[in-house]
A and B are shown apart, each in its own frame.
With several copies, the nearest count.
Chain A
Amino acid sequence: MSSPPSPPGHTVKSFDDDLRSLRSMIGRMGGLARKQLDDSIEALLTSDEEAADRICAKDKELDEMEMEAEAYAISIIARRAPMAGDLREVIAALKIGSVIERVGDYAKNCARRVSVLAGHVDRGVHPGIAEMARMASSLLDDALTSFAQRDSELAKKVAAGDEAIDDYYESLFQALLAQIAEDPNQTATATHFIFIIKNLERVGDHATNIAEMVHYSATGDHIADRPKGGDATEISLPL
């Protein structure tokens, strides 16, 4: 079944208002998480420690937003006893909320490495990381858009986009390993970068998770044949 042709509003408009608020809460959270991610990479590349601190501080906000959204979703369930599509949407919002919060954690995680990495930035991997961050961020954006617009087609595309990130991750991972092998002094730095790209790779996974929730919310079905537990790309790595 294709995405429903935007169903008519509820007889009780405040129900629509509730759903809209919840959606916009999630939207705002998503926006903030994405900004945090972009900012953290930016701070990393520019070694902007101040910005990094701001980002870390801001993560708290995201955590609070998640708790708020969760409480709101629960209160919608308690107050409206939603059914069918509405129920799925609220549940999706609930889950997307925690996914976004996790994305925020990744951003904070990156940001916290800025001060450690300041001055140790390796020109070699950087363009790759920037590109990977861009990809992750845009995938996240797509996922959030698909949620905001209840666009289950877009959501399907997101799942595909994740693969590119995984590939990218693998090549960067190899590069970083090579770097360590080349210069063992770089071990710590490279390890930090490994964690960063791992995080970015996870952002991609989570974007996919969001898309999956959107698709479920819209159609009641899960996306068929979606690879789950995706973060296993570096495993093929030869010793």
Chain B
Amino acid sequence: MTDPSSPSDTGETLPERTPTEWHSNAMQRRIRRRYARERRFRFFGLAALVLAAGFLAFLLFTIVSDGWRGFQRAEVAVEVTYVEDELTAESGSLARADYRTLLRRDLREQFGTERVASEGAWLRLRERMEENPGLLGQTERVWVVASPEVDLMAKGDVDFTLPAERRVVDDEMVEDYRDLRESDRVRLAFNSGFLSRADSTSSELAGVWGALIGSILTILVTLAISFPIGVMTAVYLEEYAPKNRITDIIEVSINNLAAVPSIIFGLLGLAVFLNFFGMPRSAPLVGGLTLALMTLPVIVIAARVALQSVPPSIKDAALGVGASRLQVISHHVLPVALPGILTGTIIGVSRALGETAPLLLIGMRAFVSDIPEGVTQPATVLPVQIFLWSDEVGRGFIEKTSAAIMVLLAVLLSMNALAIYLRNKFERRW
């Protein structure tokens, strides 16, 4: 450059500006206005946050206030006599004993109706017998699960002042309940079955354990597939991939897969895993595969971010002392990036854990009353369970739904807490 800038730039010929009159009235007014705007803006920001937080609080409050009752159930006390003959009357062996008839009879005898206890109340008797075979022939007082109507009344959900037509329970039931109350043979207890059973058509017997196991199996499949492949993909893209067509296609694929609506993955699972490969419906295997494909890009992206956040200077340093590429990655890059990768993985997986839509399409909305024992067995998962229950008309399912949501949120929150913990613990400032 031939330096044209100089002489004309120097001060001499420049017009002088009159100094700004900072203390003039106009200027002072202007400044006051600016400060007012400042305060307003700041308020809006805070308001937005408070609103968002308020909504969260409201949501949690609603769910907890409904849901905590899902962890309770009404029980009625029945005097049961374990009469061997009756138990074995039909099947001929204790193993296939018929507790149901036994209980029905006792109920009828003691309360005049079977309707105070749940359809599945007899299960309690079987448990007792299994715990203590010596009970055979004895009589004992057993707290069995109450019927939905009794449950409602026990939890105070029934407005007795309403006329019978507009109540969920008829007068007869109300009477029965009053009797129970008077004889102290009804109580509210912790609903242990909720955490140990699978789905059921009757709300008082429905539990989340089956769905939880389903979720865990599904997530294990997801993790087993998406984590290694995701990390390897990320490592390949960040550290190895040459800039070429194929790499570009991979990059575009991943970025887009990350934002493809989850339901599309459901369609994919349906078309490929179920229809093309003929894998079993409703199985954690297929659900896990589908979710793995969905989670893969999340992990890849998180892992790439983590890998990118490893300062290149460290790689240079390692290369500079003569480390090979694989050594650079395994000795320096991965250890440093691992917390980030794990965090991303947990977040991806916890999203998969809350995912519903794609699983609906691959048949996991099926009613499954057994606790799954393998990845190929029919199963449902927590969110789907929630969805299913939320559709149920029975009054008892509302609190069950909320309770299931609480379980799901607890799982998710603890996973997120783990992620945050990891992130904070290993967060590094360069």
Instruction: List the interface of chain A (C-beta within 8 A of B).
Output: 8-9, 13
Select from chain A the residue with minimum beta-carbon distance to B7: A13
B132 at interface by CB-CB < 8 Å: no
Residue numbers in A under 8 Å from B6 (CB-CB): 13
Residue numbers in B under 8 Å from A13 (CB-CB): 6
Min C-beta distance of B382 to chain A, whole Å: 66
3 contacts between A and B (CB under 8 A): A8-B3, A9-B3, A13-B6
Min C-beta distance of A11 to chain B, whole Å: 9
Whole-angstrom CA separation of A8 from B2 in the bound complex:
10
Min C-beta distance of A178 to chain B, whole Å: 64
Whole-angstrom CA separation of A13 from B3 in the bound complex:
11
Query: Is the interface on chain B under 10, 10 to 19, 20 to 34, or 35 or more residues?
Result: under 10
Contact string against A for B residues 1-27, beta-carbon threshold 8 Å, 1 for contact and 0 otherwise: 001001000000000000000000000
Whole-angstrom CA separation of A115 from B171 in the bound complex:
149
Select from chain A the residue with minimum beta-carbon distance to B2: A8
Whole-angstrom CA separation of A81 from B12 in the bound complex:
30
Residue numbers in B under 8 Å from A8 (CB-CB): 3
The 3 lowest CB-CB distance pairs between A and B, nearest first, are A13-B6, A9-B3, A8-B3
Min C-beta distance of A175 to chain B, whole Å: 59
Residue numbers in A under 8 Å from B3 (CB-CB): 8-9
Whole-angstrom CA separation of A132 from B82 in the bound complex:
142
Whole-angstrom CA separation of A8 from B3 in the bound complex:
10
Select from chain B the residue with minimum beta-carbon distance to A9: B3
Using a CB-CB cutoff of 8 Å, which residues 22-73 of chain B contact chain A?
A: none
Select from chain A the residue with minimum beta-carbon distance to B10: A13
Whole-angstrom CA separation of A9 from B3 in the bound complex:
10
Min C-beta distance of B10 to chain A, whole Å: 9
Whole-angstrom CA separation of A126 from B244 in the bound complex:
95
Whole-angstrom CA separation of A13 from B5 in the bound complex:
12
Whole-angstrom CA separation of A229 from B6 in the bound complex:
45
Select from chain B the residue with minimum beta-carbon distance to A8: B3
Select from chain B the residue with minimum beta-carbon distance to A13: B6
Min C-beta distance of B11 to chain A, whole Å: 13
Min C-beta distance of A14 to chain B, whole Å: 12
Contact string against A for B residues 275-293, beta-carbon threshold 8 Å, 1 for contact and 0 otherwise: 0000000000000000000
Whole-angstrom CA separation of A9 from B7 in the bound complex:
13
Whole-angstrom CA separation of A133 from B314 in the bound complex:
71
Min C-beta distance of B5 to chain A, whole Å: 11
Residue numbers in B under 8 Å from A9 (CB-CB): 3
Min C-beta distance of A6 to chain B, whole Å: 15
Min C-beta distance of A5 to chain B, whole Å: 16
Whole-angstrom CA separation of A172 from B6 in the bound complex:
57
Select from chain B the residue with minimum beta-carbon distance to A11: B3
Whole-angstrom CA separation of A84 from B284 in the bound complex:
79
Whole-angstrom CA separation of A50 from B108 in the bound complex:
150
Whole-angstrom CA separation of A23 from B415 in the bound complex:
73
Whole-angstrom CA separation of A8 from B6 in the bound complex:
14
Whole-angstrom CA separation of A167 from B49 in the bound complex:
96
Whole-angstrom CA separation of A13 from B6 in the bound complex:
9
Contact string against A for B residues 157-196, beta-carbon threshold 8 Å, 1 for contact and 0 otherwise: 0000000000000000000000000000000000000000
Min C-beta distance of A231 to chain B, whole Å: 48
Min C-beta distance of B237 to chain A, whole Å: 45
Whole-angstrom CA separation of A227 from B3 in the bound complex:
45
Whole-angstrom CA separation of A9 from B6 in the bound complex:
12
Min C-beta distance of B230 to chain A, whole Å: 51
Min C-beta distance of A7 to chain B, whole Å: 13
Min C-beta distance of A31 to chain B, whole Å: 29
Min C-beta distance of B284 to chain A, whole Å: 68
Whole-angstrom CA separation of A152 from B6 in the bound complex:
30
Whole-angstrom CA separation of A104 from B6 in the bound complex:
40
Min C-beta distance of B244 to chain A, whole Å: 44
Min C-beta distance of A168 to chain B, whole Å: 49
Whole-angstrom CA separation of A224 from B415 in the bound complex:
83
Select from chain A the residue with minimum beta-carbon distance to B6: A13
Whole-angstrom CA separation of A21 from B3 in the bound complex:
22
